[in-house]
Amino acid sequence: MQMSNKVKVIPCSGIGKVFGLVAREAALKTVLELCPEKAETVCLAYIVTGDDEVKERMSGSVCITVDGCPKMCASKNVSLSGGNVVDEVKVLDTVRDHKGKNFGSPTELSDDGYVVADEIAAKIEQRINELA
Amino acid sequence: MTVLKVGILSCSGEECLGGTISRLATRKVLEEMKMVETVTLCLPLYNAGGTEERNFANVFPTISVDGCDKLCAKRSTEKYSGSVSVSIDVSRIIGNEHALNTRIIRKKDLKEEHYQMVDEVAAEIVKAIGALDPNSYAGKTFRGCGCGE
């Protein structure tokens, strides 16, 4: 298996609340649009399986997790898989700057939801550039 | 009145379109299914949560919805919780060429053809729910996913 040195940006993609979708959209914007040469993602569901192949892929890799709720599922699962979590991004930290806004639903972000996702993606991009 | 509940667990995989389709089809059924109450759980809570989350598939008849043939949602559910009643592999419905697409993953990049795929997969989930024995999902209760669902 070919190993990658790219920073792994892994969101929780929580399916029950809008902040899971914000985490997902922020991470995907980072790896697909802002830093495709420096960053990639790994399916969190694959990490959860604990398969040897994904453990090997994650082992010692530099990871930034993005979590939508205090359960911190992405961070905990990445750590369990052997990933080196250098930054735990919490969606709620950015949401605090947008009090009273409607961010959409777990199915579809509103314009304000995308504003928050884009802000988080920009912060992650900055962090990746610091790491590079 | 007896509350009927069925669990639906999506992989929501971030690396390919199949994960996005699995997530959206699951959400569609959760929001639109009226005859049977449906519940879900964030898959990574099997490790990050507690006993309640790990008991999910033992409480509800559970349908796993996976974007590719790695079947992570099915295998994780059976590893940490209990057996699934039905496993849906999205790649067998929309084809590997679409399911393993690594460029179109974000919701805002989806086109009409992708929403048709969501509808197809949602229909498969509804069909799977219809095939379950009603006695298997009657009268079950669950506190719910830690993130609020």
Do residue A16 and residue B31 have CB atoms under 8 angstroms apart?
no
Note the pLDDT tens digit of each residue in B37-60. 899 999 999 988 888 889 999 888
Residue B122 φ then ψ, to 5°: -60, -40
Give whole-number Cα distances, A107 to A14, A40, A61, A78, in Å: 11, 23, 31, 24
Strand ranges of the sheet holding B62-66, from the earlier edge strand across to the other edge? B37-40, B5-10, B62-66, B86-89
Q: Are B54 and B46 in contact (CB under 8 A)?
A: yes
Task: Kindly list the residues from chain B whose CB atom is less than 8 angstroms away from the CB atom of residue A72.
Answer: 48
Q: Which residue has the higher pLDDT, A103 or B143?
A: A103
Q: Does any domain span residue B37? A: yes
Give whole-number Cα distances, A115 to A30, A85, A129, in Å: 14, 25, 21
Q: Does any domain span residue A63? A: yes
Q: Does any domain span residue A54? A: yes
Note the pLDDT tens digit of each residue in A104-122. 999 999 999 999 999 999 9
Q: How many CB atoms lie within 10 A of CB B74?
A: 24
CA of residue B29 relative to chain centroid, distance: 9
Do residue A69 and residue B14 have CB atoms under 8 angstroms apart?
no
The boundaries of the domain holding residue B100 are: 5-129
CA–CA distance, B15 with B99 (Å, rounded to integer) = 10
Do residue A48 and residue B72 have CB atoms under 8 angstroms apart?
yes
Do residue B106 and residue A25 have CB atoms under 8 angstroms apart?
yes
A41, closest residue in chain B (CA to CA): B15
CA–CA distance, B71 with B13 (Å, rounded to integer) = 10
Tell whether the model's pLDDT for residue A98 goes beyond 70: yes
Q: Does any domain span residue B147? A: no
Tell whether the model's pLDDT for residue B140 goes beyond 80: no
Using the Cβ of A45 and the Cβ atoms of chain B, whether some distance falls under 8 Å is answered with yes
Q: Does any domain span residue A51? A: yes
Give whole-number Cα distances, B101 to A9, A15, A77, B82, B97, in Å: 18, 21, 25, 30, 6
Residue B107: which CATH number?
3.40.50
Q: How many domains does chain B have?
A: 1
Q: Does any domain span residue B53? A: yes
Note the pLDDT tens digit of each residue in B87-126. 999 999 999 999 999 999 999 999 999 999 999 999 999 9
Provide the H-helix boundaries in A89-110: 91-95
ipTM of this complex: 0.95
Q: Does any domain span residue A2? A: no
Q: Does any domain span residue B135? A: no
- Supply the pLDDT for residue B34: 79
Q: How many domains does chain A have?
A: 1
Task: Kindly list the residues from chain B whose CB atom is less than 8 angstroms away from the CB atom of residue A45.
Answer: 11-13, 19, 43-44, 66, 72-73, 76
Q: Does any domain span residue B17? A: yes
Residue A108: which CATH number?
3.40.50
Using the Cβ of A32 and the Cβ atoms of chain B, whether some distance falls under 8 Å is answered with yes
The boundaries of the domain holding residue A60 are: 7-123
Using the Cβ of B18 and the Cβ atoms of chain A, whether some distance falls under 8 Å is answered with no
CA–CA distance, B42 with A57 (Å, rounded to integer) = 23
Q: Does any domain span residue B121? A: yes
